[in-house]
Amino acid sequence: MAKTKTAYVCNECGADFMRWQGQCSECSAWNCITEVRLGAVKTKNTRLDGYAGTTVAKVMRLDEVDLQEVPRFSTGFVEFDRVLGGGIVPGSAILIGGHPGAGKSTLLLQMMCGLAEQGGALYVTGEESLQQVAMRAQRLGLPMGALKMLAETNVETICQLAQQEKPRIMVIDSIQVMHLADVQSAPGSVSQVRESAAFLTRFAKQYHIAIIMVGHVTKDGSLAGPKVLEHCIDCSVMLDGDTDSRYRTMRGHKNRFGPVNELGVFAMTGQGMKEVKNPSAIFLTRGKEDQSGSIVMVLWEGTRPLLVEIQGLVDYSPLNNPRRVTLGMEQNRISMLLAVMHRHGGLQMADQDVFVNVVGGVKVNETSADLATLLALVSSFRDKPLPNDLVVFGEVGLAGEIRPVPSGQERLREAAKHGFRRAIVPMANAPKEAIEGMQVIGVSKLAEALEAI
């Protein structure tokens, strides 16, 4: 017999509770738990069975599992493939998140028009009308002959049609407008998004259809409550970037089939999204003159190096508590670096405001930026520009020692490729054989680094 089920769901993180409470015990947010009527839930869990026929569950050994190795297929974009860990795994559920206007629909439309040429691509649009999508495709000059389109927001209907069409890949744009008839709350609410995504994920697994769901992020940058979708999907990637800047970065947050630390870079142009094959070049547009407080370092992003510029500004502060402001970097790290500089470098900045900025909106969460940040601050403090062809990386320890970082050789080679002629690096990262056209200074103490500049 069907009975109505009531659940209490946190709107912030999607956690379930038996009864109402004022504070969510998962994410500690207040007044965020709402009652959700899940509608008539059939006593047997038969929602998908309507399409699938009942499958009998069976226990088996791991080596008995049929491995049906299906190769990944490419999205047509090298950068997108890299973030996904080498292409799309058939039957996987991928979530692509980003702010409205980030370019998710544009990128996916370009991708799907390309993939449709090889057959089996279905684009489900719930936000834009079919005419709008067609007009965009026409304006971008995409091949329109093969892509199947569907304007629908009911998940059950979509799955029924997809079952007949048997596409290899399906795009759902966006998950926030999808709804299941069984769930009695408005589309976009946590319970609708969660149930719809779970339904689509099960469908993807059962019919080996790769599904890419678009998700808009909320104001605080989370995807309709951060934990709502993460557990059920296979990969989650985010498309970031200011709408007033041309560049968009794509990063994996969860990936069941590969690493998550890869970075893909795109540019939004008049002809849609274009891949940026050499991202170092765009983050490095510097003037010809030497400026104090500016330095270039080499980050390690997933499997490749990325050159970025770090700027420091040190200025006398009238405040009792001088400011420590960072953009693109963790603030506590600066306090720590300043303390190390005071103890081991003999430079006192207690009465100075300190600002650090990573140019181009890049986010640095690597310790290899320590030495570069410190030298940028010293350069600004003394108002002495550093040479234009100098590149620096290395971790700074609390005892003033300079620690090695992974992939030192590759970082140096990337810098040499972009015309840098001098480098200050941790002693252990200094190459045994000289790199052509580059003078590498290995340092093991902060004092040595300060002397070197």
* Binding-site ranges for ligand TYD (CB under 6 A): 98, 100-106, 136, 140, 243, 268, 270, 272
d(CA 376, CA 358) in angstroms, rounded, equals: 11
Q: How many residues does the chain have?
A: 453
DSSP string for residues in 247-266: EEEEEEEEETTS-S--EEEE
SS3 369: helix
| CB-based contact 377:312 (threshold 8 Å) | yes
| Least gap, CB of 127 to ligand TYD (angstroms) | 8
Out of Mg ion, ligand TYD, none, what residue 272 binds, judged by CB under 5 to 8 A for its kind, is ligand TYD
| Least gap, CB of 391 to ligand TYD (angstroms) | 33
Write out the H or E segment, with its range, that includes residue 19: none
d(CA 21, CA 14) in angstroms, rounded, equals: 14
Q: Return the number of the residue (175 or 228) whose C-beta is nearest Mg ion.
A: 175
Q: At what angle do helices 370-382 and 331-345 cross, to 10 degrees?
A: 70
Q: In what order do the strands lie in the sheet with 247-255?
A: 148-151, 121-125, 169-173, 210-216, 93-98, 235-240, 247-255, 263-269, 272-275
| Least gap, CB of 323 to Mg ion (angstroms) | 39
| Least gap, CB of 268 to ligand TYD (angstroms) | 5
Segment lying near Mg ion (by CB under 5 A), choices 98-106, 164-172, 226-234, 321-329: 98-106
| Least gap, CB of 174 to ligand TYD (angstroms) | 8
Out of ligand TYD, Mg ion, none, what residue 87 binds, judged by CB under 5 to 8 A for its kind, is none
Q: Return the number of the residue (127 or 448) whose C-beta is nearest Mg ion.
A: 127
Q: Return the number of the residue (133 or 183) whose C-beta is nearest ligand TYD.
A: 133
| Least gap, CB of 399 to ligand TYD (angstroms) | 47
Interacting residue with Mg ion among 11, 75, 92, 105 (CB under 5 A) = 105
Q: Which residues, including other chains, have CB under 8 Å from residue 444's CB and lie 6 or more apart?
A: 401, 402, 426, 427, 428
Total number of residues that touch Mg ion (CB under 5 A): 1
Out of Mg ion, ligand TYD, none, what residue 106 binds, judged by CB under 5 to 8 A for its kind, is ligand TYD
**Alpha carbon distance, N-terminus to C-terminus of the chain:** 79
Out of Mg ion, ligand TYD, none, what residue 136 binds, judged by CB under 5 to 8 A for its kind, is ligand TYD
Out of Mg ion, ligand TYD, none, what residue 294 binds, judged by CB under 5 to 8 A for its kind, is none
| CB-based contact 342:353 (threshold 8 Å) | no
State the residues that interact with Mg ion by CB under 5 A: 105
